[in-house]
Amino acid sequence: MWIDEKFFLIKKKLKKYEDKNLKIIDLGARNQILKNFIPKNFLYTGVDKFKTNNDNLIINLDNEFDNIVDKYDVVFALDIIEHTDDPYNFIKNCMRLSKNLIYLVIPNTAYYSLRLNFLIKGEITNKFHFSGNSNDDRHKWLTNFKSTKKFLAKFQNEGFDIKIEKILKNRNKLKFLYFIEHLLSQFLPNLFSWSFLITLQKKNVD
């Protein structure tokens, strides 16, 4: 099974906390893949709107976020914000829950292969479709590097330091293509970044 590079990047970032018993929450956890990439001593809580074969809390984050009342050392929202009705309030709620860190992953719908897919096949991904079912597991926002930076600027005075990092696509990639995309993403992030890892760290907290 293909594992998105975001998980390996997060595992690397969490290494410095591996001797701490951090309490974390995974919003949009689905099948709890993240659990395999965090230190075993972390206290993990998964949340999702869809019931699967695990112990996730079943909460619709569009209208039931207030049901989460505990505080967490780290809040994860990996590829979930683009599914929400109100991304601004979603991040505000993440800030309310977080004692220290928030990790967001936002996809890049301007990635070159998605552009080609739309040009040739007339569709971006299966997350964008026209079914008329409001409860579908689908993306509600077209997100890219420029729009993500502009959106995050709304939170610059909320007491968090914000950092954006580019994530490359590692599926079906020859090494030299991966290297080329890594180089080009430095200059053209809209075209060659698969997604973006956003770290929000509360100021004056170690």
pLDDT for the residue 137: 85
> Which residues neighbour 31 within 8 Å (Cβ) at sequence distance 6 or greater?
52, 54
**How buried is residue 111: exposed, middle or buried, by Cβ count under 10 Å (0-12/13-18/19+)?**
buried
CATH number, domain containing residue 124? 3.40.50.150
pLDDT for the residue 190: 93
Name the nearest CA neighbour of 105 among 140, 134, 143, 49: 143
**How buried is residue 46: exposed, middle or buried, by Cβ count under 10 Å (0-12/13-18/19+)?**
buried
Domain count, the chain: 1
Expressed as residue numbers, the domain containing 195 is 5-202
Measure the CA–CA gap between 5 and 1, rounded to whole angstroms: 13
Enumerate residue ranges in the chain where pLDDT < 70. 1-2, 171-174, 205-206
Give the β-pairing of 98-107 and 72-78: parallel
pLDDT for the residue 177: 81
pLDDT for the residue 134: 79
Sheet of 195-202: strands edge to edge?
57-58, 43-48, 23-27, 72-78, 98-107, 195-202, 160-167
